[in-house]
Amino acid sequence: MSNRFRPPGQRKNLLQNDLTGYTHRQWRINLPLRDYQVRPEDIVPAFAGTIGKISLTGAFALAWMEA
Protein backbone atom coordinates (compact mmCIF):
# COMPACT_ATOMS: atom_id res chain seq x y z
CA MET A 1 0.00 0.00 0.00
CA SER A 2 1.37 3.41 -0.94
CA ASN A 3 2.07 6.03 1.71
CA ARG A 4 -0.20 8.59 0.07
CA PHE A 5 -3.27 6.41 0.70
CA ARG A 6 -2.56 6.02 4.41
CA PRO A 7 -4.21 8.29 6.96
CA PRO A 8 -2.12 11.39 7.81
CA GLY A 9 -1.50 10.21 11.36
CA GLN A 10 -0.04 6.94 10.17
CA ARG A 11 2.26 8.70 7.65
CA LYS A 12 3.47 10.99 10.42
CA ASN A 13 4.20 8.01 12.65
CA LEU A 14 6.15 6.28 9.86
CA LEU A 15 8.23 9.42 9.24
CA GLN A 16 8.87 9.86 12.94
CA ASN A 17 9.93 6.21 13.15
CA ASP A 18 12.41 6.77 10.29
CA LEU A 19 13.85 9.86 11.96
CA THR A 20 14.33 8.23 15.38
CA GLY A 21 17.17 6.07 14.03
CA TYR A 22 19.11 9.08 12.76
CA THR A 23 21.26 11.26 15.01
CA HIS A 24 22.35 14.23 12.90
CA ARG A 25 25.84 15.63 13.44
CA GLN A 26 25.97 19.00 11.76
CA TRP A 27 29.72 19.56 11.54
CA ARG A 28 30.98 15.97 11.63
CA ILE A 29 30.97 13.02 9.28
CA ASN A 30 27.80 10.91 9.57
CA LEU A 31 28.86 7.27 9.62
CA PRO A 32 26.55 4.33 8.95
CA LEU A 33 25.66 2.12 11.93
CA ARG A 34 26.82 4.82 14.34
CA ASP A 35 24.73 7.82 13.29
CA TYR A 36 22.03 6.11 11.22
CA GLN A 37 20.79 2.63 10.42
CA VAL A 38 21.02 0.97 7.02
CA ARG A 39 17.84 -1.02 6.47
CA PRO A 40 17.28 -3.72 3.82
CA GLU A 41 14.61 -1.66 2.05
CA ASP A 42 17.18 1.12 1.53
CA ILE A 43 19.58 -1.12 -0.39
CA VAL A 44 17.54 -1.53 -3.60
CA PRO A 45 17.19 2.24 -4.30
CA ALA A 46 20.87 2.73 -3.46
CA PHE A 47 21.92 0.07 -5.99
CA ALA A 48 19.54 1.49 -8.60
CA GLY A 49 21.00 4.96 -8.15
CA THR A 50 24.56 3.65 -8.35
CA ILE A 51 23.85 1.69 -11.53
CA GLY A 52 22.13 4.74 -13.04
CA LYS A 53 25.07 7.02 -12.28
CA ILE A 54 27.58 4.55 -13.71
CA SER A 55 25.58 4.04 -16.91
CA LEU A 56 25.06 7.79 -17.35
CA THR A 57 28.79 8.43 -16.89
CA GLY A 58 29.57 5.70 -19.42
CA ALA A 59 27.12 7.17 -21.92
CA PHE A 60 28.69 10.62 -21.56
CA ALA A 61 32.17 9.13 -21.99
CA LEU A 62 31.13 7.33 -25.18
CA ALA A 63 29.44 10.44 -26.55
CA TRP A 64 32.51 12.54 -25.74
CA MET A 65 34.82 9.99 -27.38
CA GLU A 66 32.74 9.88 -30.59
CA ALA A 67 32.34 13.66 -30.85
32 and 60 fall within a common domain: no
Q: Tens digits of per-residue pLDDT, 10-67?
A: 878 877 877 776 667 777 887 777 777 777 888 899 999 999 999 999 999 999 998 7
- pLDDT the model gives residue 64: 93
- The verdict on 30 and 12 lying in the same domain is yes
Report helix, strand or coil for 29: coil
Non-local CB neighbours of 22 within 8 Å, separated by 6+ positions: 35, 36, 37
At residue 3, does pLDDT exceed 70?
Answer: no
What is the C-alpha to C-alpha distance for residues 37 and 32, in angstroms, rounded to an integer? 6
Question: Is 49 found in the same domain as 25?
Answer: no
Query: Are 46 and 19 members of one domain?
Result: no
Structure confidence at residue 4 (pLDDT)? 62
In this structure, the answer to whether residues 8 and 32 fall within a common structural domain is yes
Residue 60 has a pLDDT of: 96
Judged on CB neighbours under 10 Å (0-12, 13-18, 19+), 5 is exposed
**1 pLDDT exceeds 60?**
no
Q: Which domain holds residue 3?
A: 1-36
Q: How many domains does the chain have?
A: 2
Q: Measured between alpha carbons, how far is 41 from 46 in angstroms, rounded to an integer?
A: 9
pLDDT at position 5? 66
